[in-house]
Structure 1
């Protein structure tokens, strides 16, 4: 008799953790609740994760991977260099707004604790998606010829700031422009301010 494949159970547990995180935040993600939501035995999640911290690290790892993919996918769907830059930026913001609790798990104020080295690798790959956006835009003379890592860091800070302010409902009229309808405008203003040909 061949050993049972553990991947379907692990996949179900992670999917349940995703759902509980988005509906109730990190406090809702317990191994018992995840097991119940996944429809597996009470002990099943404990066979895959040592505890809640390890489970949340696995969710954070997937979040970073998915965020990098969202940037790349959005950029690849555009046709011109300018549209690719803008679309990649919106890919970042859209991912954060569509998965707020996942985004805050990684970039919020509560640290994850002891972090699996794979998370650092995923974070590096996600940032590489921003670096690639900047590099391509510089090649098309859309951004100034500054060190690409520095410019990518500033772009990431800009995108994170817009996403965070929108998630926390600080972008609204009359204090600011309305984030629900004008995030594209804010991205355009920022990119135009950097453009050497603006």
Structure 2
């Protein structure tokens, strides 16, 4: 008998025995379990996952349209899908023009955008409200239709992009920004986007 799978759109807190294959939903790993999963889940790979605790995320940042988030437990099982039978859709790109022309910005949804880095500020050191030292870097991203949007990177993201922002570059620097929070700045739509860490 073929194994049956649940649809992400049907998830609810009514049971623990969910069995998903593919899709996009926010998941959270409790601090006590991070070490167990840290080296076992990689970006841009597909996994078969089961045995989650389903929680209403309400006020939390949403990476998907789904109201629910999946919390890992000691019983959670995650298995790599070696040969997926359907394509992995890692990005759900949003057009910059759509963001700039929106009457209302939904800052509870995280977005993905793609474009060329056409400007940057110097990186700045800062201390968070919790006293942690970090870095901040603002860049300007432009798409193929010449729409531009500001984006602010924090922490490790600054160190990752800085080597590619050398002034001596000849070729354009194309970036795909995933899971960024849209916001308004000085009354303008989405200037900047900010990466949530």
Looking at secondary structure, tell me which structure has more strand per residue.
Answer: 2
TM-score in terms of structure 2 length: 0.27
TM-score in terms of structure 1 length: 0.27
